[in-house]
C-alpha cells in the first residue's frame, strides 16, 4: 500500500533521448512494407534492439528471423537497421526475393568508407564489439582478411599488423565516445600514418545521448536508462553515467524496476537508448508517480532535427 504522504523524488530527464532518425526510419520501413504488401512481412534480425518495438511490429504482421533460409518464397523481407553483409542481399537477389534495406544511413556510410579504403590498399582496424550485428555487417562489406577487430585499449596495444604503414580505422556507430577516444589515441600513437575516417563514425544520436547523460549525472543520486540489454548504445549510457560517478541501471520497461535501487535517492536521472520509444519513458514516470511525489525537469543539451529519407519504393505508400 502506498503511504498517504509520498516521499519526494525529483526527476531530471535527459534530452535528447529515445528514438533517433535511423530507428524511426527502420520502423517506418517495416510498417509501410506491411501496408504495401500485406502481412506477413519477414524481418531479418530484430529491426532494432528493443523488445517492445519488436512485439509491436509482430502484432502488425512482422515475422522476425535470423537468416534468409527461414523466409518462404514470395514473401517480402526487410533487413535490420544494423546492416547486413553483402552476401545477404546477394542471396536475396539470387532467390528473386522482394527485399527492403532498413540499414541506418550512418551505418551505410561506414560501409562505403570501408569499401573505398580497401580499394585504396588500406587494411582497416575496426573498433567495435565482437558479435554485434553492425560489426558483422561491416566486416561483410569487404573481402575476408581486409579488417581487424579491436575492442579495447589492451587490444590496441597488442595489435601487430603486417604492414603498419597501410592502416586506416573505422568504428561501430554506437560506441562510448570516451572509450573509443582512448582506443584511437593508442592506435594513433603506435601507428602515426594510420588514416582517420571522414567525419565521425560514432553516430550523432549516440554522441548526443551520451552528452546529455553527462550533463545530468552530476546532479543525480542515480540514473535509470531505458533500453534493451543487447542495445549497444543503451548499455553505453549506463557506463557513461557510472563513469561520472553516479550509480546507473538499465531497465527494459518500468515493470523491471527494482525499487531497492532507489533507496536514499532524492534526485533520479532518466534517459532512454536510441531504440526505446518515448512512451516507455512516460510509463516509468507514471509508475514512479504512484510511489513518490515526483517533480520533472528536462535538461536538453541539443535539439535533433535530422530526418532520413525512406527507400524510393515506399515513397508512394508513405504519401498515401
Place of cell 548504445: 233
Is 134 marked active-site? yes
> Which residue spans within 222-292 are E strands per DSSP?
222-226, 248-251, 267-272
**Phi and psi at residue 36, to the nearest 5°:** -75, -45
Q: What is the DSSP string of 80-144?
A: -TT---THHHHHHHHTT--EEE---HHHHHHHHHHHHHHHTTPEEEEES-TT-HHHHHHHTTS-T
Residue in 80, 129, 146 with CA at minimum distance from that of residue 108: 80
* Packing angle of the helix pair 232-243, 204-217 (nearest 10 deg): 30
279 vs 141: CA distance, rounded Å: 36
Radius of gyration of the chain (CA): 21
SS3 209: helix
Q: How far apart are CA 229 and CA 170, in angstroms?
A: 24
Catalytic entry in 134, 157, 283, 298: 134
Which residues are designated catalytic? Answer: 134
Amino acid at each position: 500500500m502506498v503511504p498517504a504522504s509520498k516521499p519526494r523524488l525529483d526527476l531530471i530527464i535527459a534530452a535528447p533521448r529515445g528514438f533517433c532518425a535511423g530507428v524511426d526510419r527502420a520502423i517506418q520501413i517495416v510498417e509501410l512494407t506491411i501496408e504495401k504488401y500485406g502481412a506477413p512481412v519477414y524481418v531479418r534480425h530484430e529491426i532494432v534492439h528493443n523488445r517492445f518495438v519488436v512485439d509491436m511490429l509482430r502484432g502488425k504482421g512482422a515475422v522476425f528471423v535470423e537468416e534468409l533460409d527461414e523466409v518462404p518464397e514470395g514473401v517480402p523481407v526487410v533487413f535490420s537497421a544494423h546492416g547486413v553483409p553483402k552476401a545477404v542481399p546477394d542471396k536475396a537477389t539470387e532467390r528473386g526475393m522482394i527485399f527492403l534495406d532498413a540499414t541506418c544511413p550512418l551505418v551505410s556510410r561506414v560501409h562505403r568508407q570501408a569499401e573505398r579504403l580497401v580499394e585504396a590498399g588500406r587494411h582497416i582496424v575496426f573498433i567495435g564489439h565482437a558479435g554485434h550485428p553492425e560489426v558483422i555487417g561491416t566486416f561483410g562489406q569487404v573481402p575476408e582478411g581486409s579488417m581487424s577487430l579491436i575492442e579495447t585499449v589492451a587490444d590496441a596495444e597488442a595489435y601487430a599488423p603486417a604492414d603498419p604503414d597501410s592502416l586506416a580505422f573505422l568504428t561501430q556507430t554506437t560506441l562510448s565516445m570516451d572509450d573509443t577516444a582512448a582506443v584511437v589515441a593508442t592506435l594513433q600513437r603506435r601507428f602515426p600514418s594510420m588514416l582517420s575516417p571522414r567525419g565521425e563514425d560514432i553516430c550523432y544520436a549516440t554522441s548526443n545521448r551520451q552528452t546529455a547523460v553527462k550533463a545530468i549525472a552530476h546532479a543525480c543520486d542515480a540514473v535509470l536508462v531505458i533500453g534493451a540489454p543487447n542495445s549497444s548504445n543503451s548499455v553505453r549510457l549506463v557506463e557513461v553515467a557510472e563513469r561520472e560517478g553516479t550509480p546507473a541501471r538499465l531497465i527494459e520497461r518500468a515493470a523491471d524496476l527494482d525499487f531497492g535501487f532507489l533507496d536514499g535517492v532524492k534526485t533520479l536521472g532518466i534517459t532512454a537508448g536510441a531504440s526505446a520509444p518515448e512512451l516507455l519513458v512516460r510509463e516509468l514516470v507514471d509508475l514512479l508517480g504512484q510511489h513518490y511525489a515526483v517533480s520533472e525537469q528536462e535538461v536538453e543539451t541539443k535539439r535533433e532535427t535530422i530526418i532520413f529519407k525512406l527507400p524510393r519504393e515506399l515513397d508512394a505508400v508513405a504519401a498515401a
